[in-house]
């Protein structure tokens, strides 16, 4: 048992070292891409807690990115609140929103396709509302004004390097927390609900309550990344942070890597983001060719590896850090 635990710790360390060396490559474009990889991996892990572990496939998740981004951006614009504080306010807002829509949906046992549709409806309703709402900038969105004399206080750096490390810290903290959750009673209950809700109820599991807990945790995690993203790009709009494509990208990252595996999201992000970014760079974003390539790849991967890429990579290197089975 100890040997196995040590092994997983060593694996983690290796991954961490590799990831922390990568940002040193001095290309702004490379660093931008790397930031997005880590950002999507982070979002994928957050989604996976709800979708992969608890089995509730949500398409609303871009809404939590948006709530995090908008909350922090507005608090900054109005009162110059530092993102270190506002990100937690945003997470709280997202958690409350998740609790509300989760309660409304799960109370009547919406699941599967119905939950897909309900969750995407909440996202779209929110995007339409924000587009028509002048207080939050309407369709044009919000620009975060520069206050670059105190870069660390307001998270406004000229170089992309600090953003990469910030995102990396968040990602690793999240992975460690997620692993802790998954190995605890909470995690076992999540998986039980995914496997069979009626059987879970008969074993004394309050399925509504644990689904809500899972949803709220997932939303709060997601929201934190929304804040970081807003300060990374400096500009947010309904089309960028509340879009259904963003939601689908998150889902793809989590699923293609392998749902319910945590590390799968890292793999998913390392495949999807560079593909998107470099096809855009080579083919040009204006032509739509990048998304043609992305669409075709999604179809291809779904057809060839319907159970996620982690299985494929697991075959090549089957000693990937494991999270289940070590009691």
Partner 1 sequence: METLLRIENVSMRFGGLQALKNVSFTVKNNEVIGLIGPNGAGKTTLLNCVTGFYKPVEGKVFYKGKEITGLKPHKICQMGLTKTFQLIRAFKSLSVLDNVLIGALLKSSRKNEAVKFAKEVIKTVGLEGKENVLAGNLTPADQRSLELARAIATKPEILLLDEIAAGLTPAEVAELVEILKEINKKGLTLVIVEHVMQAIMPIAGRIIVLHEGRKIAEGPPQQIRENEKVIEAYFGEE
Partner 2 sequence: MLQHLLEVAIEGILIGGIYALFTLGLNMIYGVLEIINFAHGEFIMLGMYIAFWLFTLTGLHPLLSLAIVFPLLFFAGAAFERVTIEKVIKAHIFIQTVLTFGLLLLLQNLAYFFWSADYRAIRLNFPLISLGSLHISTPRLIGFIGSVVTIIILHFFLTRTKMGTGIRAVDENPIAAELVGINVKKMRMVTFGIGTGLAGVAGVFISLYYYIYPTVGSIFILLAFIIVVLGGMGSFVGSLAGGLIIGELESLSALFVGPQWKEVVAMVVFILILLFKPTGIFGTGGRK
Question: For residues 12 and 183, which CB has a smaller minimum distance to partner 1 in the complex?
Answer: 183
Q: With binding defined as CB under 8 A, does residue 85 bind partner 2?
A: no
Question: Long-range pairs for 307-310 at CB < 8 Å and ≥24 separation?
Answer: 307/258, 308/255, 308/256, 308/257, 308/258, 308/259, 308/261, 308/264, 309/256, 309/257, 309/258, 309/264, 309/267, 309/268, 309/271, 310/257, 310/258, 310/261, 310/263, 310/264, 310/267
Binding partner 2 (rule: CB under 8 A), the pick from 23, 44, 57, 187 is: 57
| 23 vs 141 by CB, closer to partner 2 | 141
- 298 is an interface residue for partner 2 by CB under 8 A: yes
Residue 250 interacting with partner 2 (CB under 8 A): no
How many residues sit close enough to partner 1 to count as binding (CB under 8 A)?
A: 21
| Residue 114 sits in the site that holds partner 2 (CB under 8 A) | yes
Using CB under 8 A as the criterion, what x/- string covers residues 181-220 for binding partner 2? ----------------------------------------
Place of tokens 């998150």: 250
Q: Site map for partner 1, 203-232, x if CB under 8 A?
A: xxxxx-------------------------
The answer to whether 109 contacts partner 1 (rule: CB under 8 A) is no
Query: Measured from the CB atom, is 212 or 246 closer to partner 1?
Result: 212
- Told to check if 327 binds partner 1 by CB under 8 A, we report yes
Among partner 1, partner 2, none, what does residue 297 contact (CB within 5–8 Å per kind)?
A: partner 2
> Which positions ≥6 away from 288 have C-beta within 8 Å?
none
With beta carbons less than 8 A apart as the criterion, state whether 50 and 182 touch: no
Token digits for 89?
A: 């306010």
Residue 196: name its binding partner from partner 1, partner 2, none (Cβ under 5 to 8 Å by kind).
partner 1
CB of 257 to partner 1, least distance (A): 17
Between the alpha carbon of residue 325 and those of residues 22, 68, 241, 309, the distances in Å are 32, 35, 37, 20
Q: How far is 178 from 57, CA to CA, in rounded Å? A: 18
Distance CA 285, CA 276 (A): 10
Q: DSSP of 53-108, one letter per residue? A: IS----S-THHHHHHHHHHHHHHHHHH---HHHHHHHHHHHHHHHHHHHHHHHHHT
Decide: is 113 part of the binding site for partner 1 (CB under 8 A): no
Which residues are CB-neighbours of 163 under 8 A, at least 6 positions away? Answer: 31, 35, 155, 157, 228, 232
Instruction: Give yes or no for residue 282 binding partner 2 (CB under 8 A).
Output: no
Please provide residue 95's backbone torsions phi and psi, each rounded to the nearest 5 degrees. -60, -40
Residue of 97, 122, 221, 229 interacting with partner 2 (CB under 8 A): 122
Among 6, 158, 196, 326, binds partner 1 (CB under 8 A): 196
What are the distances in angstroms from CA 147 to CA 66, 76, 155, 228?
Answer: 22, 10, 9, 16
Which of 110, 161, 177, 323 touches partner 2 by CB under 8 A? Answer: 110
Please say which residue, 123 or 192, places its beta carbon nearer to partner 1. 192
Site residues, partner 1 (CB under 8 A): 184-185, 188-189, 191-192, 195-196, 198-207, 324-325, 327
Site residues, partner 2 (CB under 8 A): 51, 57, 104-105, 108, 110, 112-114, 116-118, 120-122, 124-125, 128-129, 132, 245, 248, 251-252, 255-256, 259, 287-289, 291-292, 294-299, 302-303, 306-307
């Amino acid at each position: 048992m100890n040997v196995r635990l040590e092994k997983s710790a060593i694996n983690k360390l290796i991954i961490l070292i590799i990831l922390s060396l990568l940002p040193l490559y001095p290309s702004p474009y490379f660093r931008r891409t790397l930031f997005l990889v880590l950002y999507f991996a982070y979002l994928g892990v957050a989604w996976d807690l709800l979708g992969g572990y608890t089995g509730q496939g949500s398409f609303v998740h871009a809404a939590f990115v948006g709530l995090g981004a908008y909350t922090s951006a507005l608090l900054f614009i109005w009162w110059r609140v530092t993102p270190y504080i506002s990100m937690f306010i945003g997470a709280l807002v997202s958690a409350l929103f998740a609790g509300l829509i989760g309660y409304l949906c799960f109370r009547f046992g919406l699941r599967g396709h119905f939950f897909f549709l309900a969750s995407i409806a909440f996202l779209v309703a929110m995007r339409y509302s924000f587009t028509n709402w002048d207080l939050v900038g309407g369709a044009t969105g919000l620009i975060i004004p520069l206050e670059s004399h105190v870069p660390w206080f307001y998270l406004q750096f000229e170089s992309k390097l600090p953003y990469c490390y910030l995102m990396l810290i968040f990602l690793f903290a999240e992975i460690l927390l997620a692993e802790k959750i998954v190995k605890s009673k909470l995690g076992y209950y999540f998986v039980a609900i995914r496997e069979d809700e009626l059987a879970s109820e008969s074993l004394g599991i309050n399925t509504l309550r644990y689904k809500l807990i899972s949803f709220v945790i997932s939303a709060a995690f997601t929201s934190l990344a929304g804040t970081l993203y807003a300060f990374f790009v400096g500009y947010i709009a309904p089309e960028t942070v509340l879009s259904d494509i963003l939601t689908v990208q998150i889902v793809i990252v989590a699923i293609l890597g392998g749902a319910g595996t945590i590390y799968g999201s890292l793999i998913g992000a390392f495949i999807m983001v560079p593909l998107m970014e470099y096809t855009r760079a080579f083919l040009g974003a204006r032509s739509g060719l990048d998304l043609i390539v992305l669409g075709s790849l999604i179809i291809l991967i779904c057809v060839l590896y319907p159970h996620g890429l982690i299985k494929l990579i697991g075959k090549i290197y089957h000693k990937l850090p494991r999270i289940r089975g070590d009691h």
